[in-house]
Amino acid sequence: MDGEGSHQDYKLTFDFEDSEAKLNLVKDVIAMANAGGGEIIFGRNETEIRGIDIEVAKALDSAKVADLAGNFAKPVNLNISHEDYSLENGRIVRTVRIAAAEYPIVMADIGNYMDKASRKNQHVFQKGDIWTRHSSKTERATYGDIRDWIEKAKRSEREAVLSRITKVIDIPDGAEIQIVQPSAVPALDTPQRRLEYAAKQRIVKPSYVLSRGDLLEFFIHRAELKDTLTEDELSLILASALRRTATLFWWLTLVDDKPDLVLRELNYCLDAADRDKSDAANSVIELAAIYADDQQLDRLKVRLAASRYQHFREAAATWDGRAAQLAKLRDRILKAKHQKHLLSEMAPSDLETTATEMAILCQGKSASQARQLGDLTRVIWSKVSIHAKTIRS
């Protein structure tokens, strides 16, 4: 059976008389709405489909669920529906679908219940909590979640503005002007189209880079993207991954025959106007040690030392030579582990599968998972890139 995720949750049983269960249901419903919508399926889990009684289903009517959630998150207008599937045992599986919230929903009241064993009040959520889904878990929103919501809203507004832009030109005498309907904003319903649109954004604004969430999404869909990537799209991905490094080395496997593209993005990163470059300093010196010749490397070090960004100046001050940098990279690759297994001993197909699973977990904003994904992509790169010979010797 398929499993739970950011947009799907299972509940094998449900007791509407259980105050704790009801409050957790409220929390899950709000989290689904904040995470872009999803569904809660009652009467099954990942291994068993048991169904629920008709009386339980009546209590889980979508309107009642919406009213229950609204009691703790006012004002809120939740769009909830439900669908049933009948089992041969006379029970049903109920799917409650929650539409995406237009704006993040904040808990407006405390969710407390009396624990029967301890006879003490326990709380499921507090007033002011913002809940969302991280993989298959309902968790409090992080700074990264809020930033992603803001970036999504900015993208939507930008697309709306672009759709209304009118081009003004000089026209010859005697010509007529006609008002026509503007063409629609291109549909951004696939990773390919979203990446194509993002690459065009960088042409308009050279400092534009992808968000952490976008990079992870494109990485998760890398199999369907890799054979269609244009050079502009690759450049945008590399520029973005230099700053958010978890997937960087995997993308480098796609530019094995384009070291000049890598060096171009390294140099551009030193002058780019964005300030989101705290991780880029380490990326620049790591990739320079691999891809730059001696003269190019010397020029990069001079530019790092003269940079107006402190992280770049510190990287130049601590630079201890190409050989030492490559030795650090080699050591990191050879020592990298996942679940106590050396990554360097895993088959390429297993590495790719694990990388996808880890990227999905990284969408939950886990810093430790991001570092593990960075180790894993370095190992994949070391196995397939012709440039990895620099660390094998």
pLDDT on residue 233:
93
Q: Is the peptide bond before 104 cis (omega within 30 degrees of 0)?
A: no
So what's the pLDDT on residue 334?
Answer: 93
CA-to-CA distance for 388 and 326, rounded, in angstroms? 10
Phi, psi of 101 (to 5 degrees): -80, 145
State the first-to-last Cα distance of the chain, in angstroms, to the nearest integer. Answer: 46
Closest C-alpha to 185, from 214, 160, 208 = 160
Query: Percentage of the chain surpassing pLDDT 90?
Result: 38
Distance CA 81, CA 32 (A): 13
C-beta of residue 50 within 8 angstroms of C-beta of residue 70:
no
Q: Which of 85-89, 124-128, 188-192 has the lowest mean pLDDT?
A: 188-192
Half-sphere exposure of 263 (CA within 13 A, CB side): 18
Q: What is the mean pLDDT of residues 250-259?
A: 92
Whole-number pLDDT of residue 238: 93
| Cα separation, 224 vs 175, whole angstroms | 48
Q: Which residues of 72-104 are buried (b: 16+ CB within 10 A; e: fewer)?
A: bbeebebebebeeeeeeeebbbbbbbbeebeeb
Strands (E) in the chain, as ranges, are: 8-11, 38-42, 80-86, 92-98, 111-115, 120-125, 131-134, 137-140, 337-338, 341-342
- Give the span between the Cα atoms of 67 and 90, in whole angstroms: 28
Q: Are 269 and 277 in contact (CB under 8 A)?
A: yes
With cut-offs at 50, 70 and 90, classify the pLDDT of residue 102: confident
Using CA atoms, how far apart are residues 13 and 6, in angstroms rounded to an integer?
20
Q: Give the Cα separation of 381 and 177 in Å (integer).
A: 57
SS3 state at 270 = helix
For 149-176, the pLDDT digits (tens) are 888 777 777 776 666 665 555 666 666 6
Judged by DSSP in three states, 128 sits in coil
One-letter amino acid at 221 equals H
Q: What domains can be seen in the chain, in order of their start residue?
A: 8-141 (3.30.950), 191-392 (no CATH)
Report angle CA 336, 337, 338 to the nearest 5 degrees: 140
CA distance 29 to 66: 9
pLDDT in tens, 233-242: 999 999 999 9
Per-residue pLDDT band for 1 (boundaries 50, 70, 90) equals: very low
Nearest Cα residue to 6 out of 33, 42, 38, 46: 38
- Please name which of 90, 148, 122, 162 lies closest in space to residue 24, comparing C-alpha atoms: 122
Q: pLDDT of 47-77, one tens digit each? A: 888 999 999 999 899 999 999 998 998 767 7
Q: d(Cα 156, Cα 152) in Å, to the nearest integer?
A: 6
CA distance 378 to 388: 10
Q: Where are the alpha helices (DSSP H) in 164-258?
A: 191-204, 212-220, 222-225, 231-243, 248-252
pTM over 0.85, yes/no: no
pLDDT in tens, 256-314: 989 899 999 988 888 776 656 667 888 898 999 999 999 999 888 888 888 888 888 88
DSSP letter (8 states) at residue 73: S
